[in-house]
Amino acid sequence: MAAPTFESEKVLVIFVLGGPGAGKGTQCERLVSQYGFVHLSAGDLLRAEQNRQGSQYGQLIADHIKEGKIVPQEITIALLRNAMDQAVASGGKTLAGHDVGPEHKDKWTGGKGRFLIDGFPRKMDQAVGFDETVCNSRFVLFLHCSEEVMLGRLLERGKTSGRADDNEESIKKRFRTFVETSMPVVDYYRKQDRVVEVDSQQDVAKVTEDIRKAMDQTFAKLGQAA
């Protein structure tokens, strides 16, 4: 089999998983500046592709998102690979307009880079496909949250998010997909001792602090500079 697109010695990939509304996007945004990560949300990339003029996948993506189903892995993996390519080639800039900034440029030279990939992989085939063909991921940050809390957050977000899946009917379907399809991915990485778990039910700042501690410990264990 062909080698992955990115070498894991140069490109660090951390997957951020947790149920819908667990706080993945919020927490990733709060971590990028400290560590010089580029944050890629699989859901955001899919929504951007859905809205792109001329995309042949627009309707398919829209249907899957509304039903809380997982879009075929080829599409999501291609979007992630493109976004990673663009960030590595430009020294830490994204198409969405983010730049890791001058203090982190040393982590983004000579083909190097570091990514937080949020909301992916949420199905076994994606996990295996990405690790084998794009980049071998280092570890998973898993955010724990009860369905009750997640439901409350998503309904609140739904008042302003404009997202087609932040309504009670879609949320129930997303919870089901999470339990049946995405938790096996977390268990797969747990068996390999590659999951860092944090309780994300507390307030945002406390969760960020807990993640930072867990992240620093993990970096130390891996011999990776934070």
Residues of this chain that interact with ligand UDP (CB under 6 A) are: 20-21, 24-25, 41-43, 46, 64-65, 68-71, 76, 119-120, 122, 126, 165, 174
For residues 153 and 21, the answer to whether their CB atoms sit within 8 Å is yes
How near is the Cβ of 56 to ligand UDP at its closest, in Å? 16
Tell me whether residue 164 or residue 214 sits nearer to ligand UDP (CB atom).
Answer: 164
114 is known to lie in a ligand binding site: no
Name which of Mg ion, ligand UDP, none residue 92 binds, using a CB cut-off of 5 to 8 Å depending on partner kind: none
Tell me whether residue 92 or residue 118 sits nearer to Mg ion (CB atom).
Answer: 118
User: From CA 78, how far away is CA 83, in angstroms rounded?
Assistant: 9
Contacts of 223 (CB under 8 A, 6+ apart): none
Query: What's 202's DSSP letter?
Result: S
Phi-psi region of 69 (alpha: psi -120 to 50; beta: other; left: phi over 0): beta
Residues 119, 20, 28, 76: what is their CA dihedral angle, to the nearest 10 degrees? 20
x-or-dash string of contact with Mg ion, 6-25, rule CB under 5 A:
-------------------x
Give binding residues for ATP as ranges: 21-26, 157, 202
Give binding residues as ranges: 21-26, 47, 69-71, 119-122, 126, 157, 163, 174, 202
